[in-house]
Amino acid sequence: QICMEGFIWVLLDGGPSRAFLETDVNSMKDDLAMLKDLSIAEGQGRFSDVIEKEAKLAQ
């Protein structure tokens, strides 16, 4: 949960000077996918349903 909140915070805390482009979307999706994969940790981390629940807001 903390990692997902951190991811959202980094994306949204740029203030009014931060502007996203359509081309940024794929990079953000890739970053979120890597964070989810890291959290699952090849079966050694959290269960995928827990990760999906926590990642829902970020998506």
Longest dimension (CA), the chain: 40
Single-letter code of the amino acid located at 37: D
pLDDT digits (tens, 9 = 90+) for 21-58: 899 889 989 988 988 888 777 666 667 777 788 888 88
Q: Where are the domains positioned within the chain?
A: 2-55
19: left (phi over 0), alpha (psi -120 to 50) or beta: beta
Q: What pTM was computed for the model?
A: 0.71
Q: Is the pLDDT assigned to residue 17 strictly greater than 80?
A: no
40, 39, 31: which is closest to 59 by C-alpha? 31
Q: For 5-28, what is the mean pLDDT?
A: 84
The Cα–Cα gap between 48 and 36 comes to 8
